[in-house]
Amino acid sequence: MTLFGEQTRRLRARLGAVVMAPVHLLQLVTSAKSFLDNPIVGSRRLNRLGLHVARVRAAALLCAWRRRRLAHRVRDDWRDAFDRDGFVVIRDAVAPAEFAALRAAILAFEGPAREMRQGDAITRRLAIDPAMLSAIPALRALLARKDLTALFHYVASFRTTPLHYIQTIVSNDGGDARDPQEVLHADSFHASLKAWLFLNPVAADEGPFTYVRGSHRFTAERLDWEYRRSLADPRAIDRLSARGSPRVWDDDLAAMKLAAAEAMAVPENTLVVADTVGFHARGVSMRPGERVEIWSYARRNPFLPWLGGDLLSLPGLAERRIGWLWVLRDRLERHIGQPWRPAGVRSALSGLGDSSGDGQ
């Protein structure tokens, strides 16, 4: 590159930074978490002054405020377990007499599928959309249950309808790298909901959900760890941590006075609901296998002080959101990436592994 070309590139970069500065500043009061993509979020000078920790503290305080107003609707034993551990395990979440028929209907359903590869694992998702809900009334009834809805709201800290999918995970599928989901991590700097209703048993060596009990709480030790990690050069650490999903290691857990992670071997028809600001992972799978589940997810702007007001959670809109999100992300692929590749019309189990999309 000539000297003139280099000067032009630098000038464009500076102009771009000026133009984007108001957007980056506004993102401080959103769920924006990437230390790479936002120079203010990733500023070591500002984070040395406490910017990142201030965002973490504010998000945690508002989350606690919202949860106090949602707590009365949650079963006492579920609420107590979540407050203590950061997750709830519910055996026989579906009435045992009804589970086999629900499972069979879900596994037989065919719809538009997406697949993503991460390391040696492939994840397939089928959106739980109007077509699936119409075909499987028992699934609609399950997702509308008031006790589960109240628990989901409490963990998410918002009255919001999660995105629901039928998810299949194929482990040890021959990739040339380790599945990054097997490394302990937090999804973000603030609370978010994930839930898994396992349709088949998951043994301790078959990629079980793994969690560090109590790691959803922002103790003094956790805040100190958050401060220290905010000072790292985002270009010198692993990409997922730099993008705001920090990986955590045994010495980090020890410094935060946390116990080792626990792998949860569970029978079929077990529901696990967790706040994934706590440290969690997909356990190591020692052999090829498939894990099938109803997977639910909700993450909202942590700085909103109200509980509801989510128009996309209204009946008739909530179940259509996933399709809209797929289309939007496809159109913005050049700018934001799109690791989820169309896999045709499939069931949860048919033709797994045909897609070769790489995840981030």
Amino acid 30: pLDDT: 96
The region of weakest confidence among 71-85, 110-124, 250-264 is 110-124
* pTM listed for this prediction: 0.91
Quick one: average pLDDT of 330-356?
Answer: 77
Amino acid 334: pLDDT: 76
Decide if pLDDT at 230 tops 90. yes
Per-domain boundaries in the chain:
31-346
- The pLDDT tens digits for 239-276 are 999 999 999 999 999 999 999 999 999 999 999 999 99
Decide if pLDDT at 14 tops 70. no
Amino acid 3: pLDDT: 55
Quick one: average pLDDT of 168-190?
Answer: 88
Residue with the bigger pLDDT between 76 and 12: it is 76
Quick one: average pLDDT of 108-128?
Answer: 92
Decide if pLDDT at 358 tops 60. no
- One-letter-per-residue 3-state SS of the chain: CCHHHHHHHHHHHHHHHHHHHHHHHHHHHCCCCCCCCCCCCCCHHHHHCCHHHHHHHHHHHHHHHHHHHHHHHCCHHHHHHHHHHCEEEEECCCCHHHHHHHHHHHHHCCEEEEEEEECCEEEEEEECCHHHHHHCHHHHHHHCCHHHHHHHHHHHCCCCCCEEEEEEEEECCCCCCCCHHHCCECCCCCCCEEEEEECCCECCCECCEEECCCCCCCCHHHHHHHHHHHCCCCCCCCHHHHCCCCECCHHHHHHCCCCCCEECCECCCEEEEEECCCCEEECCECCCEEEEEEEEEECCCCCCCCCCCCHHHCCCCHHHHHHHHHHHHHHCHHHHCCCCEEEEEECCCCCCCCCCCECC
Decide if pLDDT at 357 tops 70. no
Quick one: average pLDDT of 145-151?
Answer: 98
Decide if pLDDT at 74 tops 70. yes
CATH placement of domain 31-346: 2.60.120.620
In the chain, what percentage of residues exceed pLDDT 90?
Answer: 73
Average pLDDT, the chain: 90
Give the confidence band of 1 by pLDDT, cuts at 50, 70, 90: low
In the chain, what percentage of residues exceed pLDDT 70?
Answer: 92
Give the confidence band of 285 by pLDDT, cuts at 50, 70, 90: confident
